[in-house]
Amino acid sequence: MSPSPSPPTGGSTKRKTPIPETSNPGPSASASAGTNLNTDEDGFTKVPTKEERRKMRKLSKHRPSFHFNVNEFRYGKKIGIAHVRDLVMYIVAEGNKPSWIQIEHKSFISHTVLLFVPGLLPSHLGLNQIPTVSCMPFSTVPTPTTTGSGSSTDPLPPARVPIIPKLFTYACPTRAPGDDRKLHSVLNSLLMGPIPDGLKKQKEKEAKQLAAATSSDLPPFLYLLTPHQMLDNDYPMPSYISPSDTPVIPGLDLSTLPARGSTTSMSNGNVKNKGNRRDDPWLEIPQADGPPEDGKWPVLAMDCEMVLSEDGQELARVSILDYDSGENIFDELVKPPKEIIDYRTQWSGITPEKISSATHTLSSIQSALQKIITPHTILLGHSLECDMIALRIKHPLCIDTALIYKHPRGPPFKAGLKWLAQRWLKRDIQQSEKGHDSEEDARTCLDLLRMKMIYGPDFGNTMENMEPIFERLNRNKPSKTSAFIDYSNPRTSLGAKATTAIRCTTDDEIVDKIVDNVEGHDLVFGRMMELANVQGWNDRGISTDQFSPSDLDTSLSRFSERLTRLHESLPSNTALVLVNGHSNPLPMLKLTAKRQNWERLMKTLGGADNIPKDQRWMTEDERELERVTGEAREGMAFFCVKS
């Protein structure tokens, strides 16, 4: 095995990621040319033939390797997560060549594994925290800092992941997406890339055609949820509907419609987890035999307000607006059958005085709605499944503004109605101190749908010029195969377009599936979550401010063992790219929560004088938030090629 190269000296502009050393080279680990002697189980040594030695020398001569171009870092250039993504695309699909890193003999790379490990910190490697101004690649081997007299200063933390310096001589500082006060999604930046200019122009042309078609007198069929999307988002399903990827439109030939744009699907759930625990009867809107006789498909925007009883959420108000006229055609209060324990006035706008005048029950509301909602009615709302569960109504024709407008961070996130109104309607809603207004929310949904009808399905899509890297690989000539191995639901996540998508529940399973699939795919992505989980990152530090150091030590030891096993199992000439994404986000999240609480108190208490001093947001809090956010955005990336 060739020794690891030394750091560059003199005028050299390259730093080299070494060929990893293993104590017992196996079949996939190359030794120095001419010295690879295999011993069989009987102790006999097989001497390679002349042809075998020639092939071994050729492989060794063309062994791929990574080199950092140090000149690119000398002027403060910071490598972002998008740079790492573009490097992966360059390796796999001949994307744009990066200038900050070079790959010798790239064509000999057989497979690429992209490993995302949030929770891995420099301190776990025995290194000091990366300064926010640092941009140069750094050694993964701890080096104590010394004073002028040669004595060591502050002791370094213990190195608890011994496999890292064995595989990677250098690491590269990275910067997570975000701004001065926020950390954006690393996963989104890692797995979403800009679409090519040619495809962008094609999409713009298609969007104009769709806008022309949908701005006519056609009903908004383009935005109807499919049965699969309804199932994925916990909608109560009519008994006569079967799972399908096409919307249910009675009597309509779907081939006459423009091609559907993508609509975000969310994670699978259970309808029983929403609403209340009572088994109230359901109203199922009958199935339509065909299109309406008058050719009209009424669109009704609906929003409900809820209160809490001992049974859970209870329906308290229903507002329904007509799309064509904009008029409020139904607005009634509902008296829950159980005693109300929380009116949730801040959000529902419901007070004891209001609810005391209610005459409707859930049953009478269902009877009234049965006269309004026909088999041809299209229901519109924001997270409409919550309203339909509260009303105990099953209906197949639904449009959900939480799904036709995509969240900037992509699935599985949903954009809030208030944010959508501010962003796309330039309107502030839900501002009243008396709580939300269901009529206002329903009207906002109407106007959001109108914007889609006028400007086409790409209106309001903050990610319209981005696509999952797996979709790009599918379109490559020749197409490239990919595997997405993660904890999330593959069908509803960024891995939906991958050749193979596998859902796992443990880091051990993640490693097993990567090993099983790497031979058959050009790119394999995997995310290991145990380190982040054990440090409380994924519950935002809510459950505890402290974690057990022994649990972290155990998890780091397991991570080192998993990475060792993964590397040993990789085929020869496989590129391994490991990123941690960002550093500890908990201090940032804690201050962000304090700021949000301050903003709520300012609205509800009417000024800073009425807010306790320990809950006030001060100038020093703002500066501290910017500091800890900068630290949270610091990350590391590692690169090597399996010999």
Q: CA 72, CA 67: separation in Å to the nearest integer?
A: 12
Tell me the per-residue pLDDT of 544-590, one tens digit each, with 9 for 90 and over.
455 678 899 999 999 999 999 999 999 999 999 999 999 999 999 99
- Dist CA 496 CA 494 (whole Å): 6
Class of domain 204-243+280-455: alpha beta
Q: List phi, psi (to 5°) of 525.
A: -110, 135
pTM for the model stands at 0.64
Alpha-carbon gap, residue 194 to 467, rounded angstroms: 6
Query: How confident is the model over 414-456, as pLDDT tens digits?
Result: 889 999 999 899 998 887 766 678 899 999 999 999 998 887 7
E strands, 327-440, in order: 328-333, 340-342, 378-381, 393-394, 398-400
Tell me the domain boundaries of the chain.
51-110+130-143+158-195+540-642, 204-243+280-455
Span 308-353, pLDDT tens digits: 888 888 899 999 999 999 999 999 999 998 888 888 887 788 888 8
Phi, psi of 121 (to 5 degrees): -120, 160
Alpha helices in 66-196 (DSSP H): 81-93, 163-167, 186-191
Per-residue pLDDT at 14: 41
Question: Are the beta carbons of 537 and 497 closer than 8 angstroms?
Answer: no
- The two structure tokens encoding residue 600: 């709520």
Q: What pLDDT digit, counting tens, does each position of 246-255 carry?
A: 888 876 655 4
**What confidence score (pLDDT) does residue 266 get?**
38
- Distance CA(293)–CA(475), nearest Å, equals 44
Each residue of 17-76: pLDDT tens digit? 443 333 333 333 332 233 334 445 555 666 778 777 776 666 667 889 999 998 888 878
Residue 146 has pLDDT above 80, yes or no: no
- Cβ contacts of 524 within 8 Å, gap of 6 or more: 111, 112, 113, 114, 482, 483, 485, 514, 517, 518
- Tell me: cis bond preceding 375? Omega within 30 of 0 counts: no
Q: Is pLDDT above 50 for 490?
A: yes
Does residue 192 or residue 30 have the better pLDDT? 192
